[in-house]
Amino acid sequence: MPASTSAPADPHRHDAKPRRRAGRPAAAVLDQDGITAAALQLIGKSGYEGFTMAALARTLNVAPSALYNHVSSKRDVLVLVQDHLTSFVDVTAFDAEPWDRAVRSWAWSYRDVFSKHTPLIPVIAVLPVTDAPKTLAMYEAVSAGFRRAGFPQERIISAIVALESFIFGSAYDVTAPADIFDSGSMAESTPNFTAAVASLAGQGHENQADVAFELGLEALVSGFGALRG
Amino acid sequence: MPASTSAPADPHRHDAKPRRRAGRPAAAVLDQDGITAAALQLIGKSGYEGFTMAALARTLNVAPSALYNHVSSKRDVLVLVQDHLTSFVDVTAFDAEPWDRAVRSWAWSYRDVFSKHTPLIPVIAVLPVTDAPKTLAMYEAVSAGFRRAGFPQERIISAIVALESFIFGSAYDVTAPADIFDSGSMAESTPNFTAAVASLAGQGHENQADVAFELGLEALVSGFGALRG
DNA sequence: ACCACTAAATGAATGCCGTTCATTTAGAAT
DNA sequence: ATTCTAAATGAACGGCATTCATTTAGTGGT
């Protein structure tokens, strides 16, 4: 059976390294952690266009088919990368700061991590948490922060999902070209839009995506803050 | 030169059909509108996995290479489909209802259209409006609605972008499996998250994605409503 | 020391994909 | 009739993820 993405089922294990089973050869060149690290490095160097199973195998000095002893598909590799990246999302503020500041800190950090990895968003958005333990750990930290802030239990998940949706959508914005709203030759037929774009540009903000993110985030924080008991 | 996605540059043209130029044969089997319609139908029948240039050509009784006389890439076809779909987004409420109701109506409609077409989201999110005239028309209608509602010019685009980001992210949620938050064997180590999930499930809502969307949308509407002068 | 077992690596092959290109076809203009 | 040209063809290309029969090399049992 090929390796699966999900974490080991046994929750009582204490070792970081899995205990060697009988009959198992020791000199494995490859494992999921190594594949994940190599994949992340390759993506950093070549982007997602250059990220192929063949290229990944090459960086590991291995035949492409060898990867399939540890991973069941390319999508599986993306899941591993996604989960690893999620551990870079900063949730520490939920232990140290008031709820609204913690949410802001978490949301900015979350958006910044995945704005460099937007091809993963379609993967994350529909991925069962069981397949991504570090992602699950993030949810736990955030849920705990919401509960301590006095949120009603039944609203916590919905609020997190709504924030996450906003974060994912905003991650795409970061990658959009600066002139995405230039209406060009059609400006005459879209006076309201064109004027609004010009007016925003006149403000001279470096990063329009950041302005929109801040605006939306403040609305969500203040709207959700009112739910606390 | 292959056909480009952008609309004809001449703004003085009045005919719907382009005027026939000298030396141009008349019996074209294919054009961008026909390709768009066939693509939409094929996607509806086979999904985005089954949507290939070869399959598209087959439904049009044409060789795959013939498509490239009218379209420069598969991505180009996706752009045409995206723009066509955007004309199904309902913006009429901006002419008939108060701002907050209009935003709700537009946002739900926008999310519903693209929740069935999430593979287009990465395309839309970074697409210059010049390449998508119907999308530009939507922005014009929405911008006009915001202006009439008393929004300060410099905030209109940022507010729309924030709403759109939330809408795109939420479109993914609709497609997520129902048990995406089932923590399974890891429930013990994530008590806060697991309790929150159970509490939401206990509410017995049919569609968790709708609940989260409603919650986030209300927060954005009330947050942005406060900006009006 | 030998054997039996097995996880892991190999390399060739498969099928699908988007795209290119030289060539052909058939209306339109002169 | 001749010329021009957009559009269609069909064969090809390179790249891709993935499969599979086979080989390799540690390990535990005897």
Q: Judge residue B109's burial from the number of C-beta atoms within 10 Å of its C-beta, 0-12 exposed, 13-18 middle, 19 or more buried.
A: middle
Which residue places its CA closest to the C1' of nucleotide D9? B63
Q: Which of B71, B94, B123 is the last residue of a domain?
A: B71
Cα separation, B127 vs B79, whole angstroms: 8
One domain for residues B155 and B55: no
Are B101 and B37 in a shared domain? no
**Does at least one atom of strand D sit less than 7 Å from the CB of B87?**
no
Phi, psi of B13 (to 5 degrees): -70, 135
Q: Which of A95-99, A130-134, B115-119, B201-205 has the lowest mean pLDDT?
A: B201-205
Same domain membership, residue A96 and residue A197: yes
Read off the CATH number of the domain in which B63 is found.
1.10.10.60
Query: A–B: how many Cβ contacts below 8 A?
Result: 259
> Domains in chain A: how many in total?
2
Predicted confidence band of residue B27 (pLDDT cuts 50, 70, 90): low
How many residues make up chain B in this entry? 229
With CA atoms as reference, report the closest residue to A151 among A222, A218, A224.
A224
Work out the percent of chain A whose per-residue pLDDT is above 90. Answer: 86
- pLDDT score of B17: 37
Tell whether the model's pLDDT for residue B209 goes beyond 50.
Answer: yes
Lowest-confidence segment of A7-16, B182-191, B192-201 by average pLDDT: A7-16
Q: In this complex, is the C-beta atom of B58 within 8 Å of any C-beta atom belonging to chain A?
A: no
> What is the b/e burial string over A56-95, where b = at least 16 CB atoms within 10 angstroms of the residue's CB?
bbeebebeeeebbebbbeeebbbbbbbbbbbeebbbebbe
Is the distance between the Cβ of A46 and the closest atom of strand D smaller than 7 Å? Answer: no
- Which residue is listed with tokens 């028309």? B137
What does B148-186 look like in DSSP terms, one character per residue? HTT--HHHHHHHHHHHHHHHHHHHHHHHS-TTTT--GGG
Is A7 within a domain?
Answer: no
Q: Are residues B162 and B220 in the same domain?
A: yes
Instruction: Please identify, among B47, B71, B95, the residue that sits at the C-terminal boundary of a domain.
Output: B71
Which residues, 6+ apart, have CB-to-CB distance to B40 below 8 Å?
B81, B84, B85
Question: Exposed, middle or buried by CB within 10 Å (0-12, 13-18, 19+), for A26?
Answer: exposed
Residue B62 resides in a domain: yes
- Which nucleotide minimizes the distance between its C1' and the CA of B21? C28
pLDDT confidence band for B30 (50 / 70 / 90): confident
Q: Is the model's pLDDT at A17 over the cut of 80?
A: no
- Domain end, chosen from A24, A52, A84, is at A84
More confident residue, A18 or B103: B103
Task: Indicate if the pLDDT at residue A12 is higher than 80.
Answer: no
Same domain, B141 and B220: yes
Q: Do residues B116 and B45 both lie within one domain?
A: no
Q: Is residue A125 part of a domain?
A: yes
Q: In this complex, do B213 and A144 lie within 8 Å of one another by their Cβ atoms?
A: no
Task: Identify the pLDDT of residue B26.
Answer: 52
Range(s) of the domain holding residue A206: 87-225
Enumerate residues 6+ apart whose C-beta is below 8 A from A226: none
**In the predicted model, is pLDDT for residue A37 greater than 50?**
yes
- CATH assignment at residue B153: 1.10.357.10
Closest CA to B138 of B84, B78, B98: B84
Using the structure, give the distance in angstroms from the CA atom of B83 to the C1' atom of C21, rounded to a whole number.
31
Residue B14 has pLDDT above 80, yes or no: no
CB contact burial B163-197 (16+ within 10 A = b; e otherwise): bbbbbbbbbbbbebeeebbebeebbeebebbbbbb
Q: CB–CB of B140 and A190 under 8 A?
A: yes
| B68 CA, C24 C1': Å apart | 17
A102-131, pLDDT tens digit by residue? 999 999 999 999 999 999 999 999 999 999
What distance lies between CA B177 and its chain's CA centroid?
Answer: 21
Spell out which residues of chain A touch residue B180, defining contact as CB-CB under 8 Å.
126-129
Residue percentage of chain B with pLDDT more than 70? 87
Do B135 and B219 share a domain, yes or no? yes
Residue A62, domain member (yes or no): yes
CB contact under 8 A, B143 and A209: no
Strand nucleotide closest to residue B68 (CA to C1'): C19
Asked if residue B80 belongs to a domain, the reply is no
Angle between helices A32-46 and A74-86 (to 10 degrees): 90
User: Is position B206 within any domain?
Assistant: no
Clarify whether residues A68 and A137 are in a common domain.
Answer: no
| Rounded Cα distance, B133 and B139, in Å | 10
Question: What is the arithmetic mean of pLDDT over B122-145?
Answer: 97
pLDDT average, residue stretch A151-177: 98
CA dihedral over B99, B100, B103, B106, signed as positive or negative = negative
Answer yes or no: do A108 and A176 share one domain. Answer: yes
Q: B129-159 burial by CB neighbour count: b if 16+ within 10 A, else e?
A: bbbbbebbbbbbbbbbbbbebebebbbbbbb
Given a cut of 70, is residue B156 above it in pLDDT? yes
Chain A interface includes B178 (CB < 8 A)? no
Mean pLDDT of A156-162: 98
pLDDT over 90 at B202, yes or no: yes
B53 and B96 co-located in one domain: no
| pLDDT, tens digit (0-9, with 9 covering 90-100), for A78-88 | 999 999 999 99
- Average pLDDT value for residue range B91-115: 98
At B15 the pLDDT is 35
Same domain, yes or no: A75 and A133: no
Please check whether residue B170 lies inside any domain of the structure.
Answer: yes
How distant is C1' of D16 from CA of B157, in Å? 40
Same domain, A123 and A204: yes
Q: For residue A229, what pLDDT is reported?
A: 84
Residue A138 lies in a domain: yes
Closest-CA residue to B213 (of A164, A80, A217): A164
Q: Is the CB of residue A73 less than 8 Å away from at least one CB of chain B?
A: no
Q: A2 falls in which pLDDT band (50, 70, 90)?
A: very low
